[in-house]
Amino acid sequence: MRIVGGSHGGRVLRAPAGAATRPTSEKVRQAIFNILPDAEGAQVLDVFAGSGALGIEALSRGAAHATFFDTAKPALAAVRANLHDLGLDARATVVAGDAVALAARHVPPAPYRLVFIDPPYRSDLAVRAAQALPPEKLSEDAVIVIEHDRRNAPPDELGSLLRTDQRRYGDTLVSFYRVRT
């Protein structure tokens, strides 16, 4: 698994040991970042971080800071190792704990402009995490990206968030949300 673009494009990322984590494929990450607005200067939140590929991709493309949430020790170890290997430690915060609870209360360095939510498939965790995000922790132009399988698509509206786009890549779907204005 490699970083697709930006200053670290082509560098290899470590994936967490075991089968509990399903890293976002390079093809899907490339597609997501082709759709998103420029990451330059963004505050990024990577919920259910796994390897940290989405947040690290944003850092590689100029994001100012990324915060990573995960509860699994192998995932946390992989994120920390990837950040260290790439020299990105100073621009990142890794927080261990329940991602939904952390989304509701973790503050610095909000407001977030890019939020990635990529939970285990076949769960309601994406909806719960998105709904837990307080609107004041999101910038006016925030984009929330939820990766999910085709059988468990989140609804068009998630509290103050409205789906603005959805793309399909095989069995993987990516839904894009913005704050309702």
| pLDDT, tens digit (0-9, with 9 covering 90-100), for 6-48 | 899 889 999 887 655 667 788 999 999 999 989 999 999 999 9
Q: Which two tokens stand for residue 126?
A: 């994406």
Question: pLDDT tens track of the chain, all 181 residues?
Answer: 899 998 998 899 998 876 556 677 889 999 999 999 899 999 999 999 999 999 999 999 999 999 999 999 999 999 999 999 999 999 999 999 998 999 888 766 779 999 999 998 788 899 999 999 988 899 999 999 999 988 888 999 998 999 999 999 988 899 999 998 7
Q: At what angle do helices 26-35 and 53-60 cross, to 10 degrees?
A: 50
Eight-state DSSP code of residue 21: -
> How far, in Å, are 103, 105, 107 from residue 137 at the CA level?
9, 9, 7
Please name the residue that has the structure tokens 């789906």. 163
Structure tokens at 121: 């498939």
Quickly count: other Cβ atoms within 10 Å of residue 91's Cβ.
16
pLDDT at 19: 52
What are the residues facing 161 on neighbouring strands? 158, 179
What domains lie within the chain, and their CATH numbers? 26-179 (3.40.50.150)
Contact 92, 101 (CB under 8 A): no
pLDDT at 148: 92
